Structure 1
Amino acid sequence: MSRIVSLTASVFAIGLFAGSAVAAGDTITIGIPVGLSGANSVVAPSVVQASELAVDEINAKGGILGKKVVLEVADDASGAAGAQKAYDLLIFKKKVDAIVAMETSAARNAGLPIVNRGKIPYIYTSFYEGRSCNPYMYINAWVPEQQVAPIVDYFNKQGAKTFFLIGSDYAFGRGMLAFTKEYIEKNGGKVVGDEYAPMDATDWTAVLAKVKAVNPDAIITSTAGGAPNVTLTKQLRAAGIKALYGNLAVDEGTARSMGADAEGIYIAGSYFTNIDTPANKSFLAAVEKKFGNDLKTPNELSVPQYEAILAYKAAVEKAGTTEAAKVVPALAEVSVEGPRGTIAMSKQRHAPLTMYLGQVKADGSVSIISSFKDVDPGEQCPKLK
């Protein structure tokens, strides 16, 4: 599948200005805050492309409630300060009807108070540490209860007894690894070290020195999606560390960008490009037809974004309006048939997901080892209806 190194400004302009010539009231606008800069900049272009494909498909079939759908894309800089600016811009200046966002947990947490003030539907499409609950928010990506077990259980079967955990020092990194540590110890393993670095860390020398000192059987990492995965993996390989390597945060697109360094990484997720279903094949054909040589690899972060926009359409049509008071509850009542299968955010505003355990091959693609159908997200937001 063809890809590009970077995405030109003209592609983003499609999302930013597509509705400028349409009269007010004739459009439904979806806001897309995403890390065009910062840690998520490696994956953001694929997320924008997935959003554009979804909107094109919706508009080709008459829009939503007969109205054309347009996108407003804003850079959240992959962090809290940038997210505050992006959400203010989208909600109060651009007057978007909804937010659909693949973001870091830091950006999400900073944006939620602004969503509360704006009172608009919000679908969060990034895998995350779990238990983020808000009256306006739904999540269609995985949480630790769905993603950690396949990797740890597999490593246990390979004879791993000692584990070293490495994460980014923010909600996602610490939340994921706290769950992972508990799961490892509950299943008879031992965590011999855990280290955290800033989200924008580029030098992992000190952390990797500690890994080499204890020589664990397995390493599990949970860094901010994108750039930190690249630098950590490159330096881990250069250090000659041979332990089993499970990464809780790398997507297939980022793995492809790493080249040979990614080979052998174990990952668990709800989407890989080689899922052999008619729906996934149709999606891949459509996205390649639209973007051609400019296509960024569809992945665990971009595909939920695509499906979330379709879910918003379904909820608005069920509600018969874009009014948040009616759309928000409708989001729990609709389902989407997408590349990952049937997705319904019906379990405490989260979604049961079919999960896959895979290993990255030399060309960056993923070999699927096993699958787990309809894994429940567990208790996430029991107080929200």
Structure 2
Amino acid sequence: PAHRRLKTPLLYATNYEGGACDRYVFSFNTVPNQELEKLLPELVKRAGNTFYLFGADYVWPQKMFEQAGVLINGLGGKVVGKEFVPFGTKEYTPIVRRIKESGAKVVLKALPGADGITFIKQAEDFGLMKEVTIGFLGFAETYLGAFGAGKGQNMWVTVPFAASIDDPKVKDFVARVRKSAGNDVPISHYLMTHYNAIRAVEAALKKTGKADRESLVNGLEGLTIDIPTGPMTIGKADHHVTMNMYLARTEGAGLAVVQPMGSLAPQAGCAKK
């Protein structure tokens, strides 16, 4: 990879499947266990223990569902259906029908971007949203405006940030974003994690007192900084972050936090040496 060849740090602030363990890679968002461990028990408790796993046909949904299957079995649940679709799929009616016929109480969805929007719209049109509970993996508030007014409600997520969190530091962060970008811009956890990455660079360089690539790597390893939701620690060995997580559901144009989940460490998927 280019970052290794050039010995240049890669700061990755989007959730992903884990396993990128390298001196020059730092992950500032979630890996599967951080998104699934607290979400799945809540879905079983609130909706039922039969799951339909549905996502795009690439590595992130595949790895997410591998871990989800293990956790669901451990909860006494059952996966009654699983399927992946290629990017660019336009017609989801047959899939909606299969989900309905499966008897699933929960749909665990890992279908990002425009495809995910299309699926939710069609699921709404065919009444699926009234029959199942959606666990939305990789959620961002930017989706909600695309679903249409009053659509995409009561979908469940676990995230490291929501703009509605009742905390002075979160409120200050949201206010500063609004001042910079305007009141109509959705503020998602992706915005915060990218902000966190920049803050970490600043702190790491101050820590080492040097401004070169190797010093940055050394400064980031094991670093703890204060982010809008509390402390965030970068693993010294795996370069993934431990941070606070929140159970939330979609409500109106944003997320309503149901329960703070506390600090949750990543299972980065690094091979033991």
Q: TM-score, normalised by structure 2?
A: 0.92
CA separation in 1, counterparts of 2:77 and 2:143?
A: 29
1:292 pairs with 2:221 = no
1:240 pairs with 2:127 = yes
Judge conservation of contact 2:56–2:85 (CA < 8 Å) in 1: yes
Unaligned runs of 5+ in 2: none
**Post-superposition offset of 1:253:** 2.4
Q: State the partner residue of 1:377.
A: 266
Cα pair distance change 1:280/1:164, threshold 3 Å: same
What does the per-residue CA deviation read over 1:333-354, in whole Å, with 9 as the maximum and x for residues that have no partner?
A: 3233222222121262111121
CA separation in 1, counterparts of 2:16 and 2:65?
A: 11
Cα pair distance change 1:203/1:349, threshold 3 Å: same
Q: State the partner residue of 1:251.
A: 140
CA separation in 1, counterparts of 2:16 and 2:68?
A: 13
Aligned-partner SS, 1:274: coil
**Post-superposition offset of 1:314:** 1.2
What does the per-residue CA deviation read over 1:226-261, in whole Å, with 9 as the maximum and x for residues that have no partner?
A: 322211111111121111111112212222432322
Unaligned runs of 5+ in 1: 1-112
Identity %: 27
Question: RCO higher in 1 or 2 (8 Å CA, sep ≥ 6)?
Answer: 2
Q: Which sits farther off after the overlay, 273-282 or 337-346? A: 337-346
CA separation in 1, counterparts of 2:195 and 2:260?
A: 22
CA separation in 1, counterparts of 2:223 and 2:41?
A: 33
**Post-superposition offset of 1:318:** 1.8
Aligned counterpart for 1:229 among listed residues 108, 116, 125: 116
Q: What letter matches 2:111 in structure 1?
A: T
Aligned counterpart for 1:178 among listed residues 49, 53, 66: 66
Cα pair distance change 1:133/1:379, threshold 3 Å: closer
Cα pair distance change 1:203/1:132, threshold 3 Å: farther
**Post-superposition offset of 1:185:** 1.2
**Post-superposition offset of 1:383:** 4.7
**Post-superposition offset of 1:382:** 5.7
What does the per-residue CA deviation read over 1:304-351, in whole Å, with 9 as the maximum and x for residues that have no partner?
A: 001101111111222223322221121123233222222121262111
1:131 pairs with 2:19 = yes
Aligned pairs (5 A) from 1:44-63: none
1:152 pairs with 2:40 = yes
Q: What letter matches 2:206 in structure 1?
A: E
Q: State the partner residue of 2:232.
A: 343
**Post-superposition offset of 1:154:** 1.1
Aligned-partner SS, 2:165: coil
Q: State the partner residue of 1:189.
A: 77
Q: State the partner residue of 2:217.
A: 328
CA separation in 1, counterparts of 2:256 and 2:177?
A: 22
Q: State the partner residue of 1:42.
A: none
Judge conservation of contact 1:229–1:249 (CA < 8 Å) in 2: no
Judge conservation of contact 1:125–1:139 (CA < 8 Å) in 2: yes
Aligned-partner SS, 1:261: coil
CA separation in 1, counterparts of 2:229 and 2:198?
A: 14
Q: TM-score, normalised by structure 1?
A: 0.66
Cα pair distance change 1:159/1:263, threshold 3 Å: closer
Q: What letter matches 1:235 in structure 2?
A: Q
Count of aligned pairs between the two proteins: 269
Q: State the partner residue of 1:115.
A: 3
